[in-house]
Amino acid sequence: MVGMEKKESLDDLIEKAGGCAVIDGGFATRLERHGAEINDPLWSALCLIKQPHLIKMVHLEYLEAGADVLVTSSYQATIPGFISKGLSIEEGESLLDKSVKLAVEARDKFWDAIKKVPGHSYNRALVAASIGSYGAYLADGSEYSGNYGPAVNLQKLKEFHRHRLQVLVEAGPDLLAFETIPNKLEAQACVELLEEENINIPSWICFSSVDGENAPSGESFDECLEIINKSNKVHAIGINCAPPQFIESLICKFKELSEKAIVVYPNSGEVWDGRAKKWLPSKCFGDDKFEFFATRWRDLGAKLIGGCCRTTPSTIRAISKVLKGRS
C-alpha cells in the first residue's frame, strides 16, 4: 500500500509540475565548487564522511532553483567502498542512511519555509535514492563501457546491489534511481532484485550511452528494455550521464520501445575520461541551450528532466523556468 501511495505521489508531482517534473543537477562537481575534496573512488560519497553540511547545502541550492526531485549523494556509496576506507559494515550502513536523511532534511527545511510564501511556484520535492552501477563502484570507467569482465555474472551483480538497496529502502526515500547502467545484465539484476526484495518504492532505471544509439556495452536498447518492460516495479526508464545532443533521438527510441515514463538528465556536454579521471575539452552547452533542450524533450514526451555531471543550479533554474513558466 505504501508503495502504491508513493507511485501516486510521483504521478501527482508530475501533474503538479505541468506534466514534466524537474530533477536536480550535477552533484559532485557542485560539491567541488564549494571546496569539497572528492578526488577519490568514493567521489561525492566521501562528503558523507567528511563534509555532510556541504551535501545539504547543494540540495538546498537545487531546491531553490526549482528541482522537484532531489537525488541523494549515494551514487558511489557502497558498503565495500566504505570498508575499503577502513569503516565497519555498520558505519557504511549509517552513511547510506545519512545520504537519504540529508536530502529529506533539506527538502523539509525548504518546503516548511517556501509553503508560507504567497504565490510561490514550487512543489514539495521527492527524494530519490541514487544507486550507481557496479562500474561506478569500480571507478575504472566501466560504467561507460559496460565491460565488467567474464567473472561478473548476474548473481554477482545482484549481490553487489542487494545490501545497499536494502539499507536505502529502509531509510525511507520516495523513489529509487538506478543510474548509469551500462549493459543488459545489470539492468536485469536491478529488475530481479526489486522483485526478490519485494520493493514497492517506485524506481527508474537510467542507462548511459556513448554513441547516442546503444547502451555502452554495444547492446541495443531493444534488448536492454525488454526485461524492464515486463516489470511493474520500474516506473520510469531513461538516460543519464550522456551528452545532451544524444537525448532527443533516445527519447524517440524509448517511446517506441516502452510505455513507461521517460526520464532524462544529461551532462553539460563535457566528456569525462573514466580512465584518465578528467574532463576532456569539448562543447559545453549553456543555460539558454538547456532551455531549448528542455522544451524540446518535454514536447517529445519526457516526464522528468534534469542535469547530470557539470550541470549547476543555474542549469536547473533554466530548465525549471521553461517547464514551469517561472521567471
* Residues 250-306: tens digit of each pLDDT: 999 999 999 999 999 999 976 666 666 666 655 667 889 999 999 999 999 999 999
Residue with cell string 543550479: 313
For residue 127, the Cα-to-chain-centroid distance in whole angstroms is: 10
Q: How confident is the model at residue 326 (pLDDT cuts 50, 70, 90)?
A: low
Residue with cell string 558505519: 91
The answer to whether 190 is annotated as binding is: no
The answer to whether 47 is annotated as binding is: no
Extents of the domains making up the chain: 2-324
pLDDT reported for residue 1: 41
Q: How confident is the model at residue 6 (pLDDT cuts 50, 70, 90)?
A: low
User: Nearest Cα to 21, choosing from 29, 9, 13?
Assistant: 13
Geometric angle at alpha carbon 284, from 278 and 289, rounded to 5°:
155
- Mean pLDDT value across residues 309-320: 95
Helix (H) or strand (E) segment spanning residue 244: none
Is the whole-model pTM more than 0.85?
yes
pLDDT in tens, 204-247: 999 999 999 999 999 999 999 999 999 999 999 999 999 999 99
Count how many Cα atoms sit within 13 Å of the Cα of residue 3 in the half-sphere of its side chain.
Answer: 14
pLDDT reported for residue 8: 66
pLDDT in tens, 106-138: 999 999 999 999 999 999 999 999 999 999 999
The answer to whether 206 is annotated as binding is: no
Does the pLDDT value for residue 43 go beyond 80? no
Higher pLDDT, 36 or 110: 110
CA gap 22, 72 in Å, rounded: 15
pLDDT reported for residue 252: 98
pLDDT reported for residue 270: 67
CATH number of 2-324: 3.20.20.330
pLDDT in tens, 128-186: 999 999 999 998 889 999 999 999 999 999 999 999 999 999 999 999 999 999 999 99
For 79, the grid coordinates are 558498503
C-beta neighbour count of 94 within 10 angstroms: 15
- Give whole-number Cα distances, 184 to 3, 299, 302, in Å: 26, 28, 22
C-beta neighbour count of 224 within 10 angstroms: 25
User: Nearest Cα to 134, choosing from 97, 93, 181?
Assistant: 181
